[in-house]
Amino acid sequence: MTFQNPVFIPGPTNMPEAIRQACYMPTIDHRSPVFGKILHPCLEGVGKVLKSNSAKIFIFPSTGTGGWETALTNTLSKGDKVLAARNGMFSHRWIDMCQRHGLDVQVIETPWGDGLPADKYEEILRGDKSHSIKVVLATHNETATGVKSDIAAMRRALDAANHPAMLYVDGVSSIGSMDFRMDEWGVDIAVTGSQKGFMLPAGLAIVGFSEKAMKAVETATLPRTFFDVRNMAKGYGNNAYPYTPPVGLMNGLKASLAMIEAEGLENVFARHTRIAEGVRRAVDAWGLTLCATSPDVYSDTVSAICTPEGFNATDIVTVGARDYDMAFGVGLGEVAGKLFRIGHLGSLTDAMMLSGLATAEMVMVDLGLDITLGSGVAAAQEYYRLGSGKSKRIAAE
């Protein structure tokens, strides 16, 4: 049997056939105008998804983690002060990267399940009279806990404190699936990758730099070679890279951006919100709770679902893969074994989601959890019916 089930991990996400076809292309000369016809639509399209008119977009052969490194090494110097909150595994890893690069990170320890504490950021920024903090880090969507944070509130915190620090946002599991407003929120660097909202395989680090961030590039002294945006910017002028670009992946990105534009960015966000809400209703019907502590931080791209005390949540992922060929996400770090995750981002329909919920139910019943088959599916069905064009048509008749 060929493996045909969709995956419900929060990245890599399911690949639409059109994107797969676009990645599968013959070799071209990557220092030619032919490559320019792939590169420039990608740069333009990413800018639109970031809702930025002025950001410089860079696309590196790498992953989201390389995007973090691009942000730090291009704009900071050894010993520079960075302010960041740790509320999950991904924010933790970015902090760890700062420390390994010799940056001085002030960490706001935040309960896993909470959003970023904009008020605490503001308090610390207000206290930093000498403006020694150069950068504020914010993880828009903490994929480990299914928690979305309010980036507009982070901007307000900086402005209220009248602090000139730059705002760098990890949008790896939000950009392209949830609303992101680089210009409006005054984001100085936005970071994402190819394998989440963009529905591609892993392999691209995608970043946007504001004018202010581009200025910081000139004075920063952290060592950088592969991720040096100055070399990349120079290459772009000649339809080229400072090294060999991953042409197939970029052609896939061009196709992905065209698909997102055809659906309409706001429609893509609305679809993610609807699918996520169906999942949340299922979780509620199962009598389980989310790791995210309040509705205002519920993520539209991933739900982290807590299981009862004494139960190993990782078993759900193991049995789902072993017995049903279906992939769910495990708990990471501090929440390992305590929760499992359902990824619901990228190329996904209501019907695909129902198959994931139905399978999760079978697995949980197999493992002895007190859940009624069909309960979560029915709750999601009721919700998806309301949202579908068809049911609205029926109601109007």
Ligand X SMILES: *Cc1c(COP(=O)(O)O)cnc(C)c1O
Q: Is 143 in the site for ligand X (CB under 6 A)?
A: yes
List the interface residues with ligand X, window 196-255 (CB under 6 A). Answer: 202
The one segment of 60-68, 154-162, 261-269, 382-390 that binds ligand X by CB under 6 A:
60-68
Smallest distance, ligand X to C-beta of residue 201, A: 11
Smallest distance, ligand X to C-beta of residue 103, A: 18
CB 340 within 8 A of CB 317: yes
Q: 344 by DSSP, 3-state: which?
A: coil
Q: Which is nearer to ligand X, 202 or 265 (CB)?
A: 202
The one segment of 57-65, 97-105, 287-295, 307-315 that binds ligand X by CB under 6 A:
57-65
Which string of x and - marks every residue 76-95 that binds ligand X (by CB under 6 A)?
--------------x-----
Smallest distance, ligand X to C-beta of residue 228, A: 19
- In the Cβ-directed half-sphere of 9, how many Cα atoms lie within 13 Å? 19
List the interface residues with ligand X, window 160-179 (CB under 6 A). Answer: 170, 172-173
Q: Which is nearer to ligand X, 332 or 363 (CB)?
A: 332
The one segment of 46-54, 58-66, 212-220, 312-320 that binds ligand X by CB under 6 A:
58-66
Smallest distance, ligand X to C-beta of residue 202, A: 5
Q: Is 64 in the site for ligand X (CB under 6 A)?
A: yes
Phi-psi region at 327: left, alpha or beta (left = phi > 0; alpha = psi -120 to 50): beta
Q: CA 260 to CA 51: how far, in whole Å?
A: 13
Q: How far is CA 80 from CA 61, 210, 255, in A?
A: 27, 19, 39
Beta strands 302-306 and 289-290 are antiparallel
- What are 102's two structure tokens? 């010799």
Selected from 5, 65, 375, 381, the binder of ligand X by CB under 6 A is 65
List the interface residues with ligand X, window 6-45 (CB under 6 A). Answer: 11
CA 136 centroid distance within chain: 18
Q: Which is nearer to ligand X, 200 or 255 (CB)?
A: 200
Sheet strand arrangement including 189-193: 56-61, 204-209, 189-193, 166-170, 133-139, 81-86, 104-109
CB 179 within 8 A of CB 48: no
Q: CA 2 to CA 395: how far, in whole Å?
A: 40
- What are 22's two structure tokens? 């676009």
Smallest distance, ligand X to C-beta of residue 192, A: 8
Selected from 63, 231, 314, 355, the binder of ligand X by CB under 6 A is 63
Q: Which is nearer to ligand X, 75 or 139 (CB)?
A: 139
State the virtual CA torsion across 302, 279, 16, 262 in degrees, nearest 10: -90
Smallest distance, ligand X to C-beta of residue 385, A: 31
Q: Is 139 in the site for ligand X (CB under 6 A)?
A: yes
Q: Please report, as ranges, the residues that interact with ligand X according to CB under 6 A.
A: 11, 63-65, 90, 139, 141, 143, 170, 172-173, 193, 202
